[in-house]
Structure 1
Amino acid sequence: MSTFQTALSGLQAASTDLQVMGNNISNANTVGFKESNAQFADAYASAIAGTAPAAGQIGIGTTVQTVAQQFSQGNIQTTSNPLDVAINGTGFFQFNYNGATVYGRNGQFQLDQNGYIVDAAGGQLIGTPAVSGALTGGAGPLRVTATILAPQATSGLSIGLNLDAGATPIASGTAVNINDPTTYNYSTSTTVYDSLGSSHLLTSYYQLTSGATPTPTWNVYYSVNGTTAAGGTTSGSFGTLPFTATGSVSGTASGTIAGLNWADGASSSTIALNFAGSTNFSAPSAVTSVTNNGYGVGQLSNLSINPSGVVYGVYSNGQSSILGQITLTNFSAPQNLQRVGNNYYAATYQSGQPLTGQPSSTGLGTLQSSAVEQSNVNLSTQLVDLIVAQQAYQANAQTIKTQNQVVQTLLSL
């Protein structure tokens, strides 16, 4: 009768194998899913035998030793969602799911009505939050609340330009009149901002003085609109901009424009103006670069995530700000994590303690935004293995059928 038990154990093992493969196949399109395989061991009546029987041992079947999870890398597929994130390498995302801490590889994220970064099941993504554009160093759910970026008043402005060395000098002693283009050789305007985010035009005027030998010297004037000055424009002389015989700036190329009082009630401004890198070549006067440290109010227009997991808010004023950082968690024995559904895993004693850190750090993978990690299930392999498991099931069923015929033969004697 032991043959029945032996064949029955084979049927149970083959049935478990079929269930495991069926689960793999059903999740072939589940993002971040990791396949499993059933591992078997033979069974004997005595696990430890003092002396083997002379005729040898006959086993009593098989047993499912474990269902092992396979954490090989899945293919990475790009998407159009900037919040989709794929892990390239080891590690898991950490989530707060209904108050429980769980882990997963599914990086299909979105914002909920409260601004939290969540997955499709509503699990809140855990990482390092940021306050006022700086990471806090703590841990908690990542939340996007900075939908408006406060303005920053311009305090520094760098203008790189070429002033035409072949320009006709203005008669010595002629004062620059910003309303009379014949009193200067070139002018250019750039936008500056006050503390309320209002934009203003700062126009600079350049006058090549006559008799400036042996090296050319340019007088520099400025005007700024939107101020409390008469006519709403503050103007004045910035000083001179001397050049060497080779066309490079000679001496000091910087200064300040102070006492800008704004008509909209913003705080008064002082702007440091720098012309370093400007040239005086025989070519048309033109601006080559402008660097402005001020900006107006910005509305959140997009999100981006770099390979280190830093989440940036991209704003309509061209600025960006750090909103948080995604962290990754790994385990010393991830195969012993417990599946709890919804693409989540729970830590167990056998998996070891969670080890959390920044992506790209030791033992952790990198992140790719606008991408997801596909399931690592190989359908071709699974279908071939499915045929083998089916044959094993049929063979064990045939063993039971054969043993039953032997019993029937004995009963008919």
Structure 2
Amino acid sequence: MKFSDLLKIIWNNMWKRRTRTIFTMTGVIIGCLAVFIISSITNGFEKYLTTEMERLMDTSVITIYPNWNAQEDTSKKNKKEEDSSKTVLNEKNIKELEKIDFITEIIPMRYAYAPITVNKTESYGRFLAKDNFEPKDGKLLYGRYPRKKSREIILGYELAKELLGYTWETKLEDDSVLEELVGKKIRVGGEQIGEDEKSNMITTKKFSCKIVGISSKTSGFDQNVIETSSKFVDDIIKSNPNNEGDALNKMLNNYESIQVRVDDKSKIGEYEAYIKELGYETSSYKEFENQTNSMIKTISLVLGSLAGISLLVAALGITNTMDMAIYERNKEIGIIKVIGGSLNDVRKIFVGEACAIAVTGGIISIVLGIIIDIIINNVAGTITKSMFGVPITT
């Protein structure tokens, strides 16, 4: 039998019983569309999360912490052993990190905590000590950088919103409303921390400082941090009467964490492993990315399995249709044999019909999938942009 004759017979037989063919093909289309749409949605969320991580986090930064596990046994160690176990972060650690080739920048993180008040609006501030304000730190929405050893501050974007009465979930249509905070005075301190022997309230010292800048909302996870000079942070720490002796010295000379910027963010996993070998605890966007990808893969596997069931049902539908066709077309099979056709020719016809239904249904589902994908991108992109500020597209 010629191949062209085979194709003609297959095509005619398919549409001779068009109702059965259409229903069988619909099962294939639904199964393929389910897989296509689920894959598109999960890919869209993965791309959205990756974009958000790059927007909210500096993907070239590794945050280094003291080795908390080693701190459990510090009481049994002498001074030299304690330093080598990386249980604290200080200038010695900075010098050690400066010798590592792939580290391009080191940012020590030291904080002070105190209540703040602006225009009768109260909040609690986390003050970050920082003296090297450079343009590459970037993302300053309004104002300028503080001068060294001054009591000038930069408010984080979310904290600035809070001081103006907005909640964190509120999306500002115009960020210019935050500019009114620049130049205002802010009261820091005055926190009640206990009572003296005469039952008089003990409070921390009060300071007055000036807001000189507002960081943008793309400045990362420090949107609630107040950046200021190291001297002002030291003053806030010293203003608390409870901070004294060794505890005060540690607060003034040790860092809560150290951020390091690396030369190649694609190798951040290798760099992080190297730093851990030195005895530090670390975190980076890579850890969050791995957790996110693992979660997405699990969801994709579950949803993909459900979509796979649709494909399995479609395959069983094709098998059932072909099985019934064989019993219904005994006369046609006999005629083919009489005119010289072989069992192999009969087999080709029925297998060809099954393949034609599957392929045609697959092609239609691809076309419909592309159309649905475009619709999802336009509709979902508009909705998610209004909700989250960033469009989620497949």
TM-score, scaled relative to structure 2: 0.22
Per residue, is there more strand in 1 or in 2? 1
TM-score, scaled relative to structure 1: 0.21
For the pair shown, the structure with the greater C-alpha radius of gyration is 1
Of structures 1 and 2, the one scoring higher in RCO (CA 8 A, sep 6+) is 2
Per residue, is there more helix in 1 or in 2? 2
